[in-house]
Structure 1
């Protein structure tokens, strides 16, 4: 018996451009099983990141349905979606999205504080230690290298122990050696916390580490 954690049924996304509506996704149907690692590949503009954003409820489908952990994301309001992501998902972006006025420790503790955890800073410190950043907790993002910033972003995504971890080009801004280290940490999170991992990548070596690879072209999944 399978345990589907993400289900997309005939998902479509169109956005309004200067010349009228632009079809971004054109009828995507797929199931992601609990504990699976799924790589989304394809050329720039194929819809990979948009598909990931729909899975995280960060973008709303204009057709079809997106279900996560049995919840229809399209039927949820913005506040409910924000709480659902906080409690069940971790999202990692290529450009880190750290809060520049907060230290690494404060950045990682933020989702726990929002959830009302009394031990937010203790758990954030443990996650940073696991990322090899024990001596960098009090540094601000501008004082950290790109690889260190991405590790802080990974720690922030993982600290709530999410069931679903979404990563959009997590090694895209990093050199090869640093990118390899981030890959190891990303799959280490999957192993440590049992999260289902969906990642968008142009890096074949990262995609090949996934249980399954899906390729998008022009808003459609290749057969």
Structure 2
């Protein structure tokens, strides 16, 4: 049996502030299999997004261990974490996080260029076509609708053919029609690459499309 692509063992997250420590996650133990689709659900403030950030090395566990893609994330420096994400993870945020001064095509090409891919522009163009935006490659984010911006963000996340896709409320800023189209696209792109998908969502219908659902409450797996 193959090793899990993500594994947390008694992982905790405490954020320190001037007014005292805030415990966000408590003793999370969870394995995610390669190729699995997993939904993280729970009320606002339950720790879903923080757990996703631990899995991507965007937050560091303050206790326990987090392993992803065969690497102990706690043992990696920031540069090594960035390389791991750039080459093998695709991250999709609720608020798109596109670079406003770059065109849609240039946004999609950024992770490919940073990885030294020789045909970055061609691959970015192919991925824009895959998300139905071949006609919008030269547009800037401010010239695009929310749905188009999220499609561009999906193209950017999936252009490097990542093994692991992390999505944090990817339809949270979209109307129901645009959100449904984005989710269909996300599952299609995941299937094309055989990637593992871990997604934070409040949408129970969306969670039901995943292989498994993990519910959080007060920073613990319920």
Shorter-chain-normalised TM-score: which range? over 0.9
Q: Aligned partners of 1:163 and 1:154: how far apart in 2?
A: 14
The alpha-carbon deviation at position 17 of structure 1 amounts to: 3.4
What is aligned with 2:126? Answer: 126
Superposition deviation, residue 50 in structure 1: 0.4
1:1-223 aligned within 5 A: 1-222=1-222
Runs of 4+ in 1 over 3 A off after TM superposition: none
**Distance in 2 of aligned mates of 1:179 and 1:160:** 23
The DSSP-based 3-state class of the residue aligned with 2:79 is helix
Partners of 1:202 and 1:190 in 2: CA distance: 20
Distance of 2:18 and 2:59 partners within structure 1:
20
Partners of 1:45 and 1:112 lie apart in 2 by 34
TM-score by length of 2: 0.99
Q: Partner of 2:165: helix, strand, or coil?
A: strand
- RMSD between aligned alpha carbons? 0.7
Residue-by-residue CA offset, 1:10-67 (whole Å, 9 max, x unaligned): 0000012343101000010000000000000001110000000000000000000000
CA distance in 2, matches of 1:5, 1:105: 30
Name stretches of at least 5 consecutive residues in structure 1 with no aligned partner. none
